[in-house]
Amino acid sequence: MIIHESRFTYQQKGLHKLVDLGEYWEQTTGHAIPLGGIVVRKSLPVSVKAQIDALIRESLEYAFERYPALPPYVKEHAQEMDESVMRQHIDLYVNQFSIDLGVEGKKAVDRLQQAV
């Protein structure tokens, strides 16, 4: 199994794709693949959950406003050092679904919950 930046560089290492599980998921379900999420305990006060949500949104918006600049932290910790690969990786995992799932994103999460 190949994950993260290697998804974009496996061919350079002489590897061949048998199945892309993200593509497979999208073709068989008709939904985007939920790659990750942030959850909070249901018992937390609504005000605390709202504050967490606002801080995450603020952080994402800050990053989006400065993109495509890559912070030194990202460059230092990337497994694949080619900047174009880092950008592909970021574009795949950090996008509009990160700010708001919307109807399409919520359907994808619901479908994943049905599958497990």
Q: Give the pLDDT of residue 30.
A: 94
DSSP state of 18: S
Q: Residues 6, 69, 39, 98: is their CA dihedral positive or negative?
A: negative
Annotation says 4 is catalytic: yes
> Which of 93-97, 102-106, 109-113 bottoms out in mean pLDDT, i.e. has the lowest?
93-97
Say which of 4, 16, 31, 77 is annotated catalytic: 4
Residue 8 CA to residue 42 CA, distance in Å, equals 37
Amino acid at 54: A
DSSP state of 80: S
DSSP reduced 3-state for 47: helix
Q: Give the pLDDT of residue 92.
A: 81
Residue 104 CA to residue 38 CA, distance in Å, equals 17
Instruction: Kindly report, residue by residue over 52-103, the tens digit of the pLDDT.
Output: 999 999 999 998 888 888 778 888 877 667 888 888 888 888 888 888 889 9
The long-range contacts involving 106-114, CB below 8 angstroms and separated by at least 24 positions, are: 107/31, 108/29, 108/31, 108/32, 108/33, 108/34, 109/34, 109/37, 111/29, 111/31, 112/33, 112/34
Q: Mean pLDDT for the chain?
A: 88
